[in-house]
Structure 1
Amino acid sequence: MRGRRLDILTISLLAFLAMPAATGRADERYDCEKLKGEPSIRACTSLIEAGSNSAPVMAIAYLNRGLEYFGMGYYDQAISDYSASISLDPRNANVYNNRGNAYHAKRDYDRAIADFDQAIVLSPGLTLAYNNRAVAYAGKGDLDRAIEDYSQAIALDPAYAGAYGNRGNVFFKKGEYDRALVDFDQAIVINPKSALFYRSRAKAYQELRLYDRAIADYRRSLELRPSETAEAGLKVAQVLLKEQSKPEPRIEMSFRRMPNTDLSGPLLDAQSIGDLASCESACAGNGSCRAYSFNMWNAMCFLKGDPTLRLMEPSTMSGLKDDTYPPPISDATVAMIRFRHKLFPGDPFRQSSQDRFEDCEASCRDSDSCVAFSFIKTELACRMFDNAGEYSNDEQADSGAKRQTVN
C-alpha cells in the first residue's frame, strides 16, 4: 500500500438495554439508563451500592456504567463493569460484545476476539459481533479472517453499510483496489451521506490513478464533513492529475524478450510495477541496467546488471538490452513445483484425459514445450501450457510448473 492505510471505522456500540422492573429508586434507574457521562455513572453507582436490587437490575446497571466508562476512554473500568455484568447474567451476548470492544480499544486483540466468539455462540445472528471481530482480526493483521467475518455480517444484514466500508478498507490494505471500490460503491449506495465512505473511495481511485474521480470524491467528502485528511488527499490528487497530463518522455530502446525465463545476476532495483512495458521502460531509463526480469504473477520488476545465467521460471518474462550478450542456460535440475487448489488461465497448447494428477504432472515433465499444467479433478482433464498466466483459486483443480533454481 506504499505506506498508506485507511482508518478502521469506529466499532459500533450497542444501544442500552431496557431496565426491567425491580427494586431501586425509579429516578436512579432512569438516570442510569438515559443520562450520559458522570450523571449516569453516579446513578448507576448508587444502584450498585444500594445492595437491595435484584441481579437483573444490577447486571444492567453494571452494563450501563461500563458503556459510559467506555465512552469516556476509561477502558479498564469498562472491562471491570462488563465482567461484573457477565457474572450476574452470563447469557447476555451484548455484554460480551461490548467487553470485546473495550479489549479492542486496548489493542488486546486476542481477548477481544474471545469475547466476540462468545457473543456469537450466544447469539449467532448478532451482526455487530461479526463486524467487531473482523475489526480485531484486521488489527492483528489476519486480513483474510477479517474479510470472512465482514462477509458474514453482510450476509446477515445486506444493508450494513459499515461492514461494506470496513471490508473495502481490508481489500485496500491488501492492494486489491478494484474489490475495495466495489465495497465502497455499495457502502455509498446504502449511506450516501457518509463523508468517510467517499474519502475511502477517493483513496482507492487515487491508487488506481483515476485522479479525476478521486478529486470528485474528496470534494464530496468535504461537502459532507470538513476534514484535514480529505483536504490533504484532494491536494495530492490534484497534483498527481496535473503530473499525469504531462507527456512522458519517450525512451527508444529495444529488448530481446525471453519468456518463461529468469536471469541470475547483480540486482540493481526491485519495483512493484503494473505491466511488462513499464518494467522495460524502467530498465531503459537506468544506465546501469543491462537486463530485467518481470514476475507476471506478482507484478514485480527486477532490474539487473550483466546477467550471468538463464533459468527456467514460468512466472517470469525477462529481457536483455539489444547490446547485451545472452548468458548461458543453467544446467540446474528442472524441478516440478505443485500448487494445490490452483488453476492456470488461458488456452492450453495441449489437453488430454488423465486419471491422476501425478500422470498429468509426468506428461508435462516429459514435454519440452510444457512449462506449467493444471489437472481438473472433476473432468479428469490435463491441460498443458507453454506460457503460464497467474493462477487463481479453484478447489476442483491442482496445478504445477517447472522451475530451476541457482545451485
Structure 2
Amino acid sequence: MCVMAWLALPFPAAADEREDCEKLKGLASIEACTQVIEAGSYGANDLAVAYLNRGLENFARRDYDQAVADYTAAIALDGKNADIYNNRGNAYHAKRDYPRALRDFDKAIALNAAHALAYNNRGIVYGDMGDFDRAIQDYDQAIAIHPAYASAYNNRGNIRAKQGDFRMAVQDYSQAIVLKPSYVGAYNNRAMAYGALGQYAEAADDFRQSMALRPNETAKSGLAALEARIAAKAVDLTAAPMSFRRMPNTDLAGALLDTVTTDNLDACEAACAGNSYCRAYSFNMWNGLCFLKGDPAMRYLEPSTMSGLKSETYPPPISDAGIAMVRFRNKAFPGEPVRESQEKRFEDCEATCQISDTCVAFSFIRTEKSCRMFEKPGAYVSDAAADSGAKRQIIN
C-alpha cells in the first residue's frame, strides 16, 4: 500500500486537517480526510490524496466496500496513479472478487512496469485461484525488480509447497529469512516444509525460533504435533493390522513419493499400504489421481480430495489459512444435497454456502433458482443450466 503526501498547501488555515488526514491513523484520519473531501475548496490532486488515504484507513479497518469506493473516487481524479490501482486490487482481493482484483493489478503494472508490489499481489490472487504457474511467474518478476523482497520469496515458497516441491519451498523460505530475520511466518512455513521432508529436527528448531520471535498458535500447535508424531513413530506398531483413517474434504501437505492414476479410492489406499515409505495418501476424486506421501505436515480443506493416514501416523495440524470460494461455471455437483433453498442469484447461493458450517460445495440451478448445498461433493459434471462453487483452503 502507499500513503500519498500533499502536493501543495495553498490554504494555510486548512493545513491541519490535511496533515491529520495524512499522518493520523484510524477513525481520526478518516474524519480528517472526510473534512478535506467535503470542504469544497480543494483541487483534484488534493482530493485524490484524501480519498486514497481514507481508503487505506478503511481497508485497515476491513471495511472493504468503503475502501473500494474511496479508491475508485481517487482513480476518477488521478487515473494515472499505479499505487491507487494496486490498493484497490488489494481491496477487491479481500472481498474475494478475483476478476476485478486482477484487472486492477494489470492496470497498475501497465502504468508502472516496475511495480513489484503489484506483481506480488497479483501472484497471491493467481495462487488463490489455483493458477500456480502464473503465480510463480509473478513472484519471479517481483523478485527480479526487487531482489530483497522477502514477502515475494515467502509467497513463492507457499506455491511450491502446494505443488509438493518442498525442497524448493525450503530454499525460498530460507532466503526470506535471510532478508528478514524476524519473519515469523517464513519460519513457520519452513518448519512445515521441513516436516513434509521428514527433517523433524530442523522443523522443530524453526517452530521454536518462531515462538522466540513472537508467541503464536501456529508454531505452538505445530511443535506439539511434531513432538507427538515423533513419539508415535517410536512406538513399535508393526504387528498391528494395516488400517487407515479417512478424512473427507481434506488434502495433505507432505513429501510426494509417487502418483498413481486411478479412479478408485480403495486402489489408492492399497497402493499406500504396499509402500513402506508411504504414511498417507491424498485421492483426488475429481481427477482420478492418487498421491502417495511421506509424513504429512499439514491438512487443509479441499472438497475434491479424500485423504487417509496409516493407523500409526499422527494426524498433522489443521491449517489456519483462509478459505476461498472457487467457482465452476456450467458445472453441477451430482447427488443428494444436504440442504436446498431458493435463491435469486448465484452470488446469493454462494454467500449462503460460505456462512454454512455444513456446506462445502454448492450448485445453483439457474432455471429453477435452486441452491443445492453439499457436505461431501462428488466430482462435478457439465450442466449448461448450472453454476457451482466450492470452499477451498489456501495456504499463504
Provide the TM-score with structure 1 as the length reference. Answer: 0.60
Shift of 1:269: 3.1
2:7 corresponds, among 15, 20, 26, to 20
> Could you tell me which amino acid in structure 2 is paired with residue 221 of structure 1?
S
Residue 268 of structure 1: aligned partner = 266
Work out whether residues 261 and 290 of structure 2, in 8 Å CA contact, stay in contact via their aligned partners in 1.
no
Work out whether residues 22 and 54 of structure 1, in 8 Å CA contact, stay in contact via their aligned partners in 2.
no
Shift of 1:141: 1.4
Shift of 1:89: 0.6
Q: Which structure 1 residue ranges, 5 or more long, are not aligned?
A: 1-12, 252-261, 284-296, 302-407
Q: 1:192 to 1:60 in 2, by over 3 A?
A: same
In structure 2, C-alpha distance between the alignment counterparts of 1:267 and 1:56, rounded to whole Å: 62
Q: 1:81 to 1:200 in 2, by over 3 A?
A: same
2:274 corresponds, among 259, 270, 279, to 279
SS at match of 2:267: strand
Query: Which aligned pairs between 1:238-387 and structure 2 lie closer than 5 A?
Result: 238-246=227-235, 249=238, 268-271=266-269, 279-281=274-276, 300=292
Q: 1:106 to 1:279 in 2, by over 3 A?
A: same
Shift of 1:266: 8.8
Shift of 1:271: 4.3
> Could you tell me which amino acid in structure 1 is paired with residue 164 of structure 2?
G
Residue 223 of structure 1: aligned partner = 212
Shift of 1:300: 4.9
2:155 corresponds, among 166, 176, 184, to 166
Shift of 1:249: 3.3
Higher CA-based Rg: 1
Work out whether residues 212 and 241 of structure 1, in 8 Å CA contact, stay in contact via their aligned partners in 2.
no
In structure 2, C-alpha distance between the alignment counterparts of 1:115 and 1:104, rounded to whole Å: 10
Is 2:75 the counterpart of 1:94? no
Structure 1 stretch 20-29 or stretch 128-137: which is displaced more? Answer: 20-29
2:141 corresponds, among 152, 155, 160, to 152
Is 2:122 the counterpart of 1:122? no
SS at match of 1:268: helix
Paired-residue identity, %:
49
> Could you tell me which amino acid in structure 2 is paired with residue 31 of structure 1?
D
Q: 1:126 to 1:214 in 2, by over 3 A?
A: same
Work out whether residues 273 and 299 of structure 1, in 8 Å CA contact, stay in contact via their aligned partners in 2.
no
Once the two structures are superposed, what CA deviation does each residue of 1:63-88 show, in whole Å capped at 9, x if it has no partner? 01111111111111111110111011
Residue 48 of structure 1: aligned partner = 37
> Could you tell me which amino acid in structure 2 is paired with residue 112 of structure 1?
A
Q: 1:49 to 1:167 in 2, by over 3 A?
A: same
SS at match of 2:7: coil
Q: Which structure 2 residue ranges, 5 or more long, are not aligned?
A: 241-259, 279-288, 294-396
Q: 1:273 to 1:203 in 2, by over 3 A?
A: farther
Work out whether residues 268 and 290 of structure 2, in 8 Å CA contact, stay in contact via their aligned partners in 1.
no
Residue 80 of structure 1: aligned partner = 69
Once the two structures are superposed, what CA deviation does each residue of 1:269-323 show, in whole Å capped at 9, x if it has no partner? 304979xxx735499xxxxxxxxxxxxx98659xxxxxxxxxxxxxxxxxxxxxx
Work out whether residues 86 and 92 of structure 1, in 8 Å CA contact, stay in contact via their aligned partners in 2.
yes
Work out whether residues 22 and 53 of structure 1, in 8 Å CA contact, stay in contact via their aligned partners in 2.
no
SS at match of 2:266: strand
> Could you tell me which amino acid in structure 2 is paired with residue 105 of structure 1?
A
Work out whether residues 134 and 149 of structure 1, in 8 Å CA contact, stay in contact via their aligned partners in 2.
yes
In structure 2, C-alpha distance between the alignment counterparts of 1:265 and 1:92, rounded to whole Å: 51
Work out whether residues 31 and 39 of structure 1, in 8 Å CA contact, stay in contact via their aligned partners in 2.
yes
SS at match of 2:147: coil
Structure 1 stretch 207-216 or stretch 114-123: which is displaced more? Answer: 207-216
